């Protein structure tokens, strides 16, 4: 007897799966047959996705809320679809209204997979452009630098006053390596 499995994914632990899970349950999937994970779709190795793909048999269906929950690149999406198809199973996307049991559904699936990848690439490009523009304006990214000009001056003065390194580190709440880096910068 053909079974329906659900797959749900969010990119981070902070995100909520409940909307996707509710849609899958409304679509008639037993909660015990829904596989979910919290990690990026760009990652190739996803344990729960692999588990549900292994379970698929001829006539079964894998149901997702949206195609982008399944994969982030056209290549990955098509590889997953080929694997599903090779097992004689079907892919259904609730939000995208795709059902690969029909030729029209297969065609629509391929087009939407390409559009999803293009959207992701555009987002990455806009993010990089925004970061480059911010850097050009002097913005700094990453962890704030511990070595400020004021800290370098304090370390240099303590060194010149022969204050022991351990005492200077404790007083300024810095590590030994920060102490030595400050001395190098002061030289």
176 contacts 165 by C-beta, under 8 angstroms? yes
The predicted pLDDT at position 86 comes to 87
Tokens of 22: 């509710």
Q: What is the pLDDT of residues 139-187, one digit of tens each?
A: 888 877 778 899 999 999 999 999 999 999 999 999 999 999 999 988 8
Half-sphere exposure of 91 (CA within 13 A, CB side): 31
Look at residue 42 and tell me whether its pLDDT is greater than 70: no
Q: Which of 176, 174, 179 is nearest to 156 (CA)?
A: 179
CA angle 94, 97, 102 (to 5 degrees): 115
The predicted pLDDT at position 44 comes to 65
Q: What is the pLDDT of residues 58-80, one digit of tens each?
A: 999 999 999 888 887 777 888 88
- Please, which pLDDT band fits residue 106 given cuts at 50, 70 and 90? confident
Q: Is 11 a catalytic residue?
A: yes
What is the enclosing helix (H) or strand (E) of 77?
helix 74-86
Name residue, tokens 């200077």. 168
Catalytic residue among 11, 18, 125, 173: 11
């Amino acid at each position: 007897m053909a079974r329906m499995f659900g797959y749900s994914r969010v990119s981070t632990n902070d995100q909520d799966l409940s909307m996707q899970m509710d849609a899958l349950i409304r679509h008639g999937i037993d909660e015990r047959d829904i596989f979910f994970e919290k990690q990026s779709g760009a990652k190739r190795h996803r344990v729960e996705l692999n588990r549900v793909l292994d379970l698929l048999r001829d006539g079964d269906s894998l149901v997702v809320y949206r195609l982008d929950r399944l994969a982030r690149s056209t290549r990955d999406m098509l590889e997953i679809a080929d694997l599903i198809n090779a097992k004689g199973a079907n892919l259904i996307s609730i939000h995208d209204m795709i059902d690969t049991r029909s030729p029209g559904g297969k065609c629509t699936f391929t087009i939407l997979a390409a559009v999803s990848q293009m959207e992701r690439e555009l987002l990455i490009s806009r993010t990089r452009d925004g970061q480059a523009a911010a850097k050009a304006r002097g913005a700094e990214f990453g962890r704030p630098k511990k070595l400020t000009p004021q800290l370098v001056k304090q370390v240099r003065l303590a060194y010149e006053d022969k204050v022991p390194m351990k005492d200077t580190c404790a007083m300024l709440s810095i590590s030994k390596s920060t102490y030595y880096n400050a001395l190098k910068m002061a030289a």
